[in-house]
Amino acid sequence: MAKHVVAAVAEITPGGRKLVDVKGRPIVVFNLGGEFFALSNRCPHRGGSLCHGKLVGLVESSTPGEYRYSRRGEIIRCPWHSWEFDIRTGKSWCDPARLRIRHYPVSVEAGAQLVEGPYVAETFPVTVEDDYVVVEI
């Protein structure tokens, strides 16, 4: 497992997302209120590009006519068939045990630390003053 610097923290604002390429793998990084999550960009159903999907909340119901809406912005819907995936876990709503998006460990590191290594800064310069999103693959 190697760590890859994929973005400056300031690049992905809360509620935002960024599609990155790590060793040829498309990965989408989400910022949920300051927490970062990195998921494979490929929908496990038919391969739709998840970073082009809509971020929605989780709707549940305990009785017909009731809509319980929570966790706004934490569910990504694939743009192709609208299947829902939990950004925090990568699990699908419709079949969580068998159908999930590959999930990668992600962390925020200070530029000062990164400059010293052993991290791989991919395509952009790292400065000591900023913080960076680091994905482990």
* Residues binding other proteins (CB under 8 A): 56, 59-68, 81-84, 93-95
CB of 41 to other proteins, least distance (A): 19
- In sequence order, what are the beta bridge partners of 5? 121, 134
Looking at residue 10, the DSSP 8-state letter turns out to be: G
Question: What does each C-alpha distance from 126 to 2, 12, 96, 117 come to in angstroms?
Answer: 17, 16, 38, 11
Residue 128 CB, shortest distance to other proteins, in Å, is 45
Strands 120-121 and 84-86: unpaired
- From the CB of 30, what's the least distance to other proteins, in Å? 19
Residue 63 beta carbon to other proteins: minimum distance, rounded to whole angstroms: 6
Q: Which is nearer to other proteins, 49 or 113 (CB)?
A: 49
Nearer to other proteins, 61 or 127 (CB): 61
Residue closer to other proteins (CB basis): 13 or 82: 82
Which two structure tokens, joined as six digits, stand for 126? 């790292």
Q: Give the separation between CA 110 and CA 123, rounded to whole angstroms.
A: 17
Chain position carrying tokens 């994929």:
6
Choose between 4 and 91: whose C-beta lies nearer to other proteins.
Answer: 91
